Amino acid sequence: MDEKRLKTALLMVWGAFLAAALTGVIHSGLSPQEIIGILTQYLEGLGIWGPMSYLGIYSVRGLILFPASLLTMTAGALFGPVQGLFLTLIGENISANLSYLISRYFKAGLLEYLSPSSRLAAKMTCYSQKNGFTLVMVSRLVFLPFDLVSYASGLCCIRHKDFALGSLIGTIPGLLTYTLLGSSFLDLRFLGLAAASLAGSLLLARHLKNKENVLTIT
């Protein structure tokens, strides 16, 4: 089997897996709070293996597009704000880079279905290559869909080091916000800190956007 057919087959399997996962979530009828409760109970039952299991789940989460926010809040509720943030930061980086590399691997095959003459796509690719670090960091700071940013960064050929560093720095305020939000299930005082972290992240993103004129394609 040549590489093109292999990629097509893998994409079909991945698509079927995503469809099955989405169907299961929809038919479960579970609310976000119930999902967090189930995850917390499961990880608690693993004892000392809970943190490592959490990292494993978070690392592959992007393959099924499971919401990063729910897993991050689960860490806050189960491990507390400090350990929860530490574990989530590690898991986030593994997940983000895995999604990025997968996107780069499938890039050539996917672009065959897009118009090669699209001037906007060409401009976006050129712009993202030159401004990848800031673009990724601001995208994380304004809470754009986590996996969308990761996969799009791979498709737009953002340099890996720019993506990795921009993602690492840009996700810290967001991860802190959701970790504190999860911790607030146990102590409401963390709710105010979560709101402050959210506001700080958005203000920083606005400052960077104005300073660098990022997200503007000319």
Query: Which among 102, 32, 107 has a CA at the least distance from the CA of 63?
Result: 102
Give the span between the Cα atoms of 151 and 34, in whole angstroms. Answer: 28
CB count, 10 Å around CB of 11? 13
* Residue 182 amino acid letter: G
DSSP-assigned states of every residue in 80-135 = HHHHHHHHHHHHHHHHHHHHHHHHHHHHHHHHTTS-TT-HHHHHHHHHHHHSHHHH
pLDDT tens for the 218 residues of the chain, in order: 577 777 777 778 877 878 887 787 777 777 777 888 888 889 988 989 999 999 999 998 888 888 888 899 999 989 999 999 999 999 999 999 999 999 888 875 555 555 554 444 544 555 556 678 888 998 898 888 889 899 988 888 889 999 999 999 999 999 999 999 988 877 777 888 888 888 888 888 777 766 655 554 44
Domain spans of the chain? 1-30, 35-212
Question: Against a cut of 0.85, is the pTM above it?
Answer: no
Number of alpha carbons in the 13 Å side-chain half-sphere of residue 52 = 4
